[in-house]
Amino acid sequence: MTSTLRRIIDCFSDCSGCKTCKGNARQDMLNMNQDTNCTPMLTQGVRLHIQDRYVVMDNGIVQVSLSKPGGIVTGIRYNGIDNLLEVRNKETNRGYWDLHWNEIGGKGIFDVIQGTSFRVIVENEEQVEISFTRTWNHSLEGKYIPLNIDKRFIMLRGSSGFYSYAIYEHFREWPGFELGETRITFKLRKDKFQYMAVADNRQRYMPFPDDRSNGRGIPLAYPEAVLLVNPLDQRLTGEVDDKYQYSCENKDLRVHGWICFDPPVGFWQITPSDEFRSGGPLKQNLSSHVGPTTLAMFLSSHYAGKYMVPQFEAGEPWKKVFGPIFMYFNSAAYGNDPLLLWEDAKIKMMVEVQSWPYSFPASEDFPKSEQRGNANGRILIQDRYISNDCVIASGAYVGLAPPGDAGSWQMESKNYQFWTQANENGFFSIRNIRPGDYNLYAWVPGFIGDYRHEAVITIISGCNIEMGDVIYEPPRDGPTLWEIGIPDRSAAEFYVPDPDPKYINRLFVNHTDRFRQYGLWERYTELYPEGDLVYKIGVSDYRKDWFFAQVVRKIGDNAYQGTTWKIKFELDNVDWNGIYKLRVALASATLAELQVRVNDPNSNRPLFTTGLIGRDNAIARHGIHGIYKLYNVDIPGTRFVKGENTIFLKQPRCNSPFQGFMYDYVRLEGPPTPC
């Protein structure tokens, strides 16, 4: 990466004239395309060609063809390539909006959304916006989801790409339904796009889709995972391909896509805002994967389970705008490093983020900047066992989401959320919030639990709400006697084993995301073939001695047994009249049960049980976390003895290799002490 490019990336997010770039980062970005011979700077106006079966948007840089009135993207012409999309696919399987839904209690239905009516919304030399709608009536009950869907596509003068957004609307008098997933999908040409980039440290040459077929690939524990035994590129022999290995958290899922090397062309999907995506900043979604496929995920139950699926009752009106997102194309001159296209895509992504909310969408359902509001404040931590004074909550995640309980934003999927991170002094500014009623939520890395401001915050057009100091008191009853892990809602700090050499993805060898390797759940049985994990406070190191997931032990073909982990610790003194508190923060749970026993592993009734919890499937999907859960267990002092004590953490359910937990953090507190 050039020094100029690095300076631009470092400075752009706060470019008001800092000493580093002297306010020139934005201008440097405008010049960068010329520096790298990326997008040609043409000034032709936007033209719209309406034919019998197709509509074509053309601005002289890119030409996009869509079916009429279906609104399926059938072709993208750019930089001398007649079509960036897979020409071998049917036209309905190239570029499309889709959804997965069901009647309440019914069977799931996959639907590639086809419009039934076409109209022009805006047409001039600066901008074209077109609409493909599908309206619902009772004659369609059971066949189509009871929504009116308006898909929009926008092209701007001089823009190397196009935008798309959609408006979904359910009327009060219509029947109920569940919406499991909705997204935009693009299937690219496999003879052109073979290099995928999801992040700086997650990019590689990818297998061909043919490599996943019989004779070239062997399905593993679930259909998405395939062992490549005879791939077209023999260098990939012995690797595992699994689309879930390329999942990302919403907060990091801003740009991803593919590079063609001949000619050097990039195809990128840019999501400039998370406001319309479900589940908040930590929700994980699919990105790009073998196909070559690129996705813009708006709503899904991945890494959350059925609890994330919104249910709309009969009599419940609902409307939501998904997007706009930007499909960006760039190119480089022969002889230049094609990987610079990824760097340019990141720059373009930051330009799009800074431009949010866009001023050009024509729908009144998409409020412009002046129609939105802002909220500002500072977040502090109050924990007397750490300090008598409030502690600055630097790096806290602070957001506005629909009213609910603390932490409810994790499962919220019907409406909009707006998040930011507090700076090093705890100050936060949440900008461009849609009008509506919200709760203020927060969580702070390094501290357990969730914050919720009790008062409902009403955002109106043009408001600027000053929250002042927001004080979060994390759960705490007494002093810390011991702790395991880091309270950051992830199990990444624990011991993640090397993969079985037979099931490897070379991208993740010696990688910070080594947990994304396939089959790591099976390594537990190899490391603990008979006895389970024992962790000794003051002796063991959670980075080496605490397995990243409490999974089942394999005892035969399709046969498993539950596991019981032991935490051993010394107590020099015991307050037999006091109540101790065990805090167990789970980063993930999948059809599992946590039972807690103290000093008696064989007691018929555990001191505490969660019952059956979790459907996030993060163990199988390499997610390192799913839905955060915090459990607080009262332990009477009479359960302890002076000297060595043992807490038993049992997970008894064992019908599948993927049942279990990922721990975030475990802490034992002593009884409360005087201030």
Quote the pLDDT of residue 5: 44
Q: Which residues, other chains included, contact 251 with Cβ-Cβ below 8 Å and sequence gap of 6+? A: 274, 281, 282, 419
Cα–Cα dist 649/647, whole Å: 7
Whether the pLDDT of residue 217 is over 50: the answer is yes
Q: Which residues of 637-667 are buried (b: 16+ CB within 10 A; e: fewer)?
A: eebbeeeebebbbbbbbbebbbbbbbbbbbb
Type of residue numbered 586? L
CATH 3.30.70.100 assigned to domain 480-669? The reply is no
Question: What's the whole-number mean pLDDT along residues 145-163?
Answer: 98
Question: What's the whole-number mean pLDDT along residues 527-553?
Answer: 97
pLDDT band at 32 (very low <50, low <70, confident <90, very high): very low
Whole-model pTM: value is 0.92
Angle (CA) 310-153-199 rounded to 5° is: 70
The mean pLDDT of the chain is 93
Question: What's the whole-number mean pLDDT along residues 234-253?
Answer: 97
Whether the pLDDT of residue 459 is over 90: the answer is yes
Whether the pLDDT of residue 490 is over 90: the answer is yes
Cα–Cα dist 297/271, whole Å: 9
- CATH number of the domain at 369-472, out of 2.60.40.1120, 2.40.50.100, 3.60.15.10, 3.30.70.260? 2.60.40.1120
Question: What's the whole-number mean pLDDT along residues 461-476?
Answer: 97
CATH 3.40.50.720 assigned to domain 47-355? The reply is no
- Tell me the sheet residues that pair with 666: 484, 584
Sequence-ordered strand ranges (E) for 539-659:
550-551, 553-556, 559-561, 563-571, 579-592, 595-598, 608-609, 613-615, 629-636, 643-651
Question: Which residue carries 């936007």 as its tokens?
Answer: 46
Whether the pLDDT of residue 41 is over 80: the answer is no
Cα–Cα dist 117/66, whole Å: 13
Question: What's the whole-number mean pLDDT along residues 175-189?
Answer: 98
3-state DSSP call for residue 507? helix
Quote the pLDDT of residue 34: 40
Cα–Cα dist 616/247, whole Å: 14
DSSP 21: T
Residue 417, H or E segment: none
Question: What's the whole-number mean pLDDT along residues 569-586?
Answer: 97
Question: What's the whole-number mean pLDDT along residues 550-554?
Answer: 97
Residue 16, H or E segment: none
Tens of pLDDT, residue by residue over 424-437, are 999 999 999 999 99
Whether the pLDDT of residue 29 is over 50: the answer is no
Quote the pLDDT of residue 214: 83
CATH 2.70.98.10 spans which residues of the chain?
Answer: 47-355
pLDDT band at 675 (very low <50, low <70, confident <90, very high): low
Whether the pLDDT of residue 540 is over 90: the answer is yes
Helices marked H in 414-554 — which ranges?
523-527, 542-545
Whether the pLDDT of residue 38 is over 50: the answer is no
Question: What's the whole-number mean pLDDT along residues 317-343?
Answer: 96
Whether the pLDDT of residue 11 is over 70: the answer is no
Q: What are phi and psi of 408, to 5 degrees?
A: -65, -20
3-state DSSP call for residue 11? helix
Whether the pLDDT of residue 1 is over 60: the answer is no
Type of residue numbered 27? Q
Angle (CA) 189-193-199 rounded to 5° is: 135
Quote the pLDDT of residue 297: 98
CATH 2.60.40.1120 spans which residues of the chain?
Answer: 369-472
Quote the pLDDT of residue 256: 98
Quote the pLDDT of residue 674: 82
Cα–Cα dist 534/520, whole Å: 19
DSSP 85: B
Tens of pLDDT, residue by residue over 291-307, are 999 999 999 999 999 98
pLDDT band at 668 (very low <50, low <70, confident <90, very high): very high
For residue 75, give both structure tokens: 């072709």
Question: What's the whole-number mean pLDDT along residues 367-386?
Answer: 97
Question: What's the whole-number mean pLDDT along residues 556-578?
Answer: 96
Contact between 299 and 148 (Cβ < 8 Å)? no
CATH 2.60.120.260 spans which residues of the chain?
Answer: 480-669
Cα–Cα dist 197/226, whole Å: 20
Quote the pLDDT of residue 31: 46
Cα–Cα dist 136/315, whole Å: 15
Question: What's the whole-number mean pLDDT along residues 662-669?
Answer: 98
